[in-house]
Chain A
Amino acid sequence: MATYRLPRVLNEVIRSHQDRFIRPVQPKNGVGAFVFPCRKLVFNYCERSGSSKSMMEYLQKEATRFATENPQIEVIVQPRPSKHPIVRAFYANGEQKTKCVRRCSVSEIPEVVKSLRDHSGHKLQRWNRYVISDTPSVRGIYSPFHDKAVYSISDLKTKK
């Protein structure tokens, strides 16, 4: 029976919770500067087949405009003979996503493209917790460091 392996990010969180030490914060896209996760979109179509008709129409109308509006994405239009039309997205973290658009109309393809473009690239993960956080628990485990009371011997002495 295959063991369920937790995704790497979740492992870090669980380990930090178990160790009860504050683990270092993960680097986050957007702190400092934002690097767009989607780096390349490849549009494959077949010049002869009927399933590529709406794809070809979309490409003729929208491809250059899409590429102009998204200069950070490398847009490649490439014939792929005798195959259904697909949109293949490549992300900065090395992941890929492919969507076949043979059943899509011309108005549906931009939605597919947009969803691929806006995807972060990380695989869909199962989150078993309500909150995923760099700190071990939602409100933080109790820490006297952030308690309001100031501990001082002189204070204790004056209390009666």
Chain B
Amino acid sequence: MFSTVTRASSKAGLKLGAVSGSRAALSIGTARKMAKEVPSGRRVVAEPGSTTYAALEARLNLSFGDRAVMEQVCTHKSYAQGRVEHNERMEWIGKRALNLFVGEHLLATYPNLSTEALQDVQHSSFGMSSLAEVGRHFGMQAAMRWEPVSREAPAVGLTKVLGKAVQALVGAIYQRQGEAAARQFVKQHVLSRPVDVEAVMQIKNPKVMLVALTRQKGLEYPVARILKETGRFTSSPVFIVGVFCGTKMVGMGFGSSLKMAEHRAAKDALLKYYAKEIKDIGVTGDEPDVSLFAQDVAV
């Protein structure tokens, strides 16, 4: 979108040709009437201008019909005492839509994970701070309109504001473009981020947990056996230990001591079971992912 800010009269003024009907985010301004640029040291900080939101829309491959939608998405209710259009209602619905899409994805991807662990994964990997990271990746922090709580620490609160803005963005897409578009957006930008399940699962005593799991599954009592070893009685031994239920190996681990290797093997067995990941899933309402290796693909 091409926008012209009113220019002060200047004799040798620069005249740029008008851009007709194009999606250019170009603005021309005077030294004084431009969006305020506050030099802080060597860095120049500018408030979001009229073209910031058009560029942000294009960067995310979105096209809301209305120019003001993106501006509203990036406006927190603390801005101008909440007298302008802000993103609180969009954020409300967007948060619920986002959590639904993420929850469905996690439920289908990790079939053996308990709901408490799923909740932890959702909170850690797709919670406010992660969404704020997504917003930073978009470059949204330069486009945010908000009022910090304290002037001495203007960055405090930005994470939450950014997270809410991302939720509001999902809400805006959901309301204006429908569920499918919102789901696609979340899948591309949020769900594509890596998830760390192991960090969420608190496995303090893996051997005890493994015994309980094998009993539950009706497997034989787990036994640890050395598979490979090197450097015993030296300063840097390496043991590779496997945990067996009968004749079947359920987990493998390495370590500089037998105890540590057994610990890791039990942990590996637990993770292999609980954090088992199903890739290329089809969630209800999602477009079917046709994988190159799918057997049902008609050639």
Contact = CB atoms under 8 A, between A and B. Distances in A.
B interface, by DSSP: helix, strand, loop or mixed? mixed
Interface residues of A, number: 46
A71 B2 CA distance: 10
A11 interface: no
Interface stretch (A2-10, A86-94, A108-116, A125-133): A86-94
Contact of A39 (B23, B29, B59): B59
Contact of A67 (B26, B60, B199, B228): B26
A88 B27 CA distance: 15
Interface string B180-213: 0000000111011110100100000000000000
A101 interface: no
A75 interface: yes
Given A25-B194, A39-B55, A144 B252 contact: yes
25 contacts: A25-B194, A27-B192, A33-B188, A35-B138, A35-B189, A40-B52, A67-B24, A71-B22, A71-B58, A74-B27, A74-B54, A75-B25, A75-B51, A76-B34, A77-B26, A78-B30, A78-B31, A79-B10, A93-B136, A144-B227, A151-B242, A152-B248, A153-B225, A153-B244, A153-B246
Q: Which of B25, B192, B227 has the largest count of A CB atoms less than 10 A from its CB?
A: B25
B196 A35 contact: no
A32 B2 contact: no
Given A153-B247, A154-B247, A40 B58 contact: no
A39 B60 CA distance: 11
B136 A68 contact: no
A65 B246 CA distance: 71
Interface residues on B, range: 35 or more
B194 A24 contact: yes
A88 B37 CA distance: 13
Contact of A72 (B16, B59, B187): B59
- Which 3 residue pairs are nearest across A and B when measured between Cβ atoms? A32-B192, A92-B139, A67-B24
Contacts of B15: 60
B17 interface: yes
B192 A67 contact: no
Given A27-B194, A67-B19, A74-B49, A39 B26 contact: no
B196 A96 contact: no
Contacts of A40: 52, 55, 142
A94 B25 CA distance: 19
Contacts of B240: 144
Given A24-B199, A36-B59, A45-B14, A68 B19 contact: yes
A88 B39 CA distance: 13
Contacts of A45: 14
B28 interface: yes
A19 B23 CA distance: 49
B139 to A, nearest CB: 3
Interface string A11-28: 000000000000011110
Given A60-B15, A94-B136, A31 B192 contact: yes
B142 A39 contact: yes
Nearest to A30: B192
Contacts of B188: 32-33
Nearest to B252: A144
Given A25-B194, A73-B55, A154-B247, A35 B27 contact: no
Interface in A119-155: 144-145, 151-154
